[in-house]
């Protein structure tokens, strides 16, 4: 775990916290309204390493890294979009691309090594900053790493900012996270996400 807290970073965090405290809550989606696939812990991320087995095709099988742009590049298939998809979705995409090259293509994808995630935790937490994690990290885990909520935190105002296309602002209730709400706890943070507590 690494915490980046230079004086300049502290000033930026303080300024950001003031902006969030003064600004009204903008557009967002509740975590319960997201499709189930975006809450599952099995979504592939850039720099993950996966084991790919194409049945009966040793030259097409092996370990492959998902590139920073989210693509998996393989022999014969070329570039396949992988980041943000489940292994099962990637298997289906690859089997479709192989249809016509192989009679009955069967593809298996397993996550071999997860890439480290860098998550920013800002706002009304005791130790705002940037945290690295070598494993899946949930919103409650990220808040815990940042020392928990301050007494001024809005327990219904926990947000994840995701730089997707288009960008997403996903809202959580802290009491649902702490109370074991399955949909809230299954949400996996991605590299570059920011957790904001208002």
Same-domain status, 99 and 142: no
The residue among 71, 94, 113 that closes a domain is 113
Q: What is the pLDDT of residue 155?
A: 96
Q: Position of tokens 């705002």? A: 128
In this structure, are 30 and 72 located in the same domain? no
Mark which of 113, 129, 147 sits at the end of a domain.
Answer: 113
Residue 14 in any domain: the answer is yes
Number of folded domains that form the chain: 2
179 is a domain residue: yes
pLDDT in tens, 32-75: 998 765 554 568 888 899 999 999 999 899 999 999 999 999 98
Model pLDDT for residues 95-138, shown as the tens digit of each residue: 999 988 898 899 999 999 988 888 999 999 999 999 988 677 89
User: Same domain, yes or no, for 108 and 127?
Assistant: no
Of residues 35 and 155, more confidence is placed in 155
- Torsion over CA: 31, 34, 35, 39 (sign): negative
CATH code of the domain containing 34: 3.10.560.10
Q: What local confidence, expressed as pLDDT, does residue 106 receive?
A: 95
Q: Are 57 and 109 part of one and the same domain?
A: yes
- Element holding 12 (H helix, E strand): helix 7-22
Residue numbers of the domain that contains 137: 7-40+115-197
Whether the per-residue pLDDT at 175 is higher than 50: the answer is yes
- Give the helix ranges, DSSP H, for 25-119: 87-98
- Confidence band for 23, pLDDT divided at 50, 70 and 90: very low
Among 143, 146, 144, 139, residue whose Cα is nearest residue 4:
146
Reported as a pLDDT band with limits 50, 70 and 90, residue 88 is very high
Q: Which residue has the tokens 């997403």?
A: 168
Whole-number Å distance between alpha carbons of 145 and 156: 19
Residue 188 DSSP class: P
DSSP 102-138: BSS--EEEEEEEPPPEEEEEEESBSS-EEEEESS---
- Compute the average pLDDT of residues 69-83: 91
The mean pLDDT of the chain is 85
pLDDT reading at 87 higher than 90: yes
Residues 86 and 156 both lie in one domain: no
pTM score over 0.85: no
Q: Give the tens place of pLDDT for each residue, 3-21.
A: 444 555 444 544 454 444 4
């Amino acid at each position: 775990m690494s915490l980046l807290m230079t004086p300049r970073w502290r000033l930026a965090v303080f300024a950001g916290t003031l902006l969030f405290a003064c600004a009204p809550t903008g557009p967002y989606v509740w975590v319960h309204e997201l499709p189930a696939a975006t809450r599952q812990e099995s979504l592939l991320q850039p720099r993950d390493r996966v084991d790919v087995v194409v049945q009966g095709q040793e030259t097409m099988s092996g370990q492959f890294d998902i590139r920073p742009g989210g693509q998996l590049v393989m022999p014969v298939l070329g570039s396949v979009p992988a980041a943000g998809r489940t292994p099962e979705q990637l298997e289906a995409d690859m089997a479709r691309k192989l249809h016509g090259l192989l009679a009955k293509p069967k593809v298996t994808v397993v996550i071999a090594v997860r890439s480290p995630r860098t998550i920013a935790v800002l706002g009304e937490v005791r130790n705002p900053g940037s945290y690295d994690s070598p494993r899946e990290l949930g919103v409650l885990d990220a808040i815990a790493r940042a020392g928990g909520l301050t007494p001024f935190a809005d327990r219904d105002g926990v947000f994840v900012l995701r730089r997707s296309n288009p960008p997403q602002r996903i809202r959580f209730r802290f009491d649902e996270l702490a109370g074991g709400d399955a949909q809230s706890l299954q949400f996996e943070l991605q590299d570059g996400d920011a957790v904001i507590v208002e």
